[in-house]
Amino acid sequence: QVQLQESGPGLVKPSETLSLTCAVSGYSISSGYYWGWIRQPPGKGLEWIGSIYHSGSTYYNPSLKSRVTISVDTSKNQFSLKLSSVTAADTAVYYCARLTPNWGLDYWGQGTLVTVSS
């Protein structure tokens, strides 16, 4: 069974960089599939942040592209998210997920709440 688990600081100061990691178990990232980050502000809908392949190929949401970096570490079977220059608008539950070949999301992490506040 594929499992994903997000980890990282739950509180980030404005203007700083948010950093999260998604550890994958039950499947080797090197075997294929894209892996992605999605976020959900409190009381609002889902927003795709970006996706990465094990080769390092990435796609980002155009609205966040200038601030987002997604990377992969196949040796640790995990991938990471960095979002720079955060503001209160970046406060959200952040999810990691696996993308199917046709860009659906079949396995999700439980999500982690990140609050941006001084």
Ranges assigned E (strand) in the chain: 3-7, 11-12, 18-25, 34-40, 47-53, 58-60, 68-73, 78-83, 92-99, 105-108, 112-116
Residue from 36, 72, 78, 116 in contact with another protein (CB under 8 A): 36
Answer yes or no whether residue 102 interacts with another protein by CB under 8 A: yes
The residue from 1, 31, 42, 45 that contacts another protein (CB under 8 A) is 45
Question: Is 104 one of the binding residues for another protein (CB under 8 A)?
Answer: yes
Q: Candidates 22, 24, 35, 48: give the one binding another protein (CB under 8 A).
A: 48
Is residue 59 close enough to count as binding another protein by CB under 8 A? yes
Task: Report whether 23 contacts 5 (CB < 8 A).
Answer: yes
Residue range at the interface with another protein (CB under 8 A); choices 22-30, 72-80, 84-92, 108-116: 108-116
CB atoms within 10 A of CB 64: 16
CB-based contact 79:70 (threshold 8 Å): yes
* 47 lies in the binding site for another protein (CB under 8 A): yes
Check binding of 66 to another protein (CB under 8 A): no
Measured in whole angstroms, the distance separating CA 67 from the mean position of its chain's CA atoms is 13
Binding site residues, another protein, CB under 8 A = 36, 38, 45-48, 51, 59, 61-63, 95, 99-100, 102-106, 108-111
